[in-house]
Amino acid sequence: MIINGKEISEKIKSSLREEIFASKKKIRLAVIKVADDAVTEKYLEVKKKFAETVGMDVRIYEVPKDISTNKLREKISEVIHIEENNGVIVQLPLPEGINAQYILDAIIPEKDPDVLSSKSWGKFSMGKNKILPPVVGAVKIIFDENKIELKGKNAVVVGAGRLVGKPISTWLIEEGATVSVIDENTKNPEEYTKKADILISGVGKPKLITPDMVPDGVVAIDCGTSESSGQVMGDIDPAVAEKALIFAPVPGGVGPITIAVLFKNLFELSK
């Protein structure tokens, strides 16, 4: 079965719109924008459109690309202290030379729908955060909707990055799965992937995982995005769908759900 992320996103959108209307709250997401490129603009447009349809506001705070780490941190602190901003996110990636984690740590957990500050991460890794990182929330929704049991399952996470690999593997362990994390230093990665009940990848390398690397009946979730010849591609070759019990592709799988979860998180924080 191939996951239709847009369909799931629309369900979340409809439910969220009703909740926001009933709450009569004005909810605003503040976005710190440093990069100025087509990909960033595309991501922001998608977020703004989603917010608009559920009755939320998105306020973009643009800063110059040559801003220093300290000046950017000061700007974020200023934005956080604006009462109308219920949540603050930094549109990643940041320019080279800026200490990204130092910048993200300026965001207090009460206004961190992306769960990227060290304090938010600490609470999440201890199971004490009231919201999940958006990509984790998206994967959880896919598993819940398809009644995928995680306890005792052999889960392989490809990539150990801060946005996908680390939060996903942390959550899977908490849910009782046996987790292997593989990266560019792992010898013979197919020895792990061939034994996977669940395979989740978030590296950003087109068609890194091929059908011969996975077993029949695998649950394959692609969270990696890259561009090849002008096309958006995922880490997992689409041909894997023929062997998979469940396959979440790129584009159209986890991505739309992740954006929906971001705004669901924002609503939770606004409470």
Q: How many CB atoms lie within 10 A of CB 229?
A: 6
**Strand partners for 180:** 156
Taking CB atoms within 8 Å and a gap of at least 24, the contacts of 184-193 are: 189/158, 189/213, 192/156, 193/156, 193/158
CA dist list (Å): 49 to 31, 205, 256, 265: 14, 28, 12, 17
Q: Is 159 annotated as a binding residue?
A: yes
Instruction: Measure the CA–CA gap between 101 and 166, rounded to whole angstroms.
Output: 15
Q: Is 160 annotated as a binding residue?
A: yes
Tell me phi and psi for residue 91, to 5 degrees.
-70, 115
Q: Is 253 annotated as a binding residue?
A: no
- The answer to whether 3 touches 256, Cβ cutoff 8 Å, is no
Token pair listed for 5: 């992320």
Token pair listed for 83: 């009462």
Runs of H (alpha helix) within the chain: 5-23, 38-54, 69-80, 100-104, 118-125, 134-145, 165-174, 190-193, 254-270
Q: Is 202 annotated as a binding residue?
A: no
Q: Would you list which residues are annotated within the binding site?
A: 159-161, 225
Q: Would you list which residues are annotated within the binding site for NADP(+)?
A: 159-161, 225
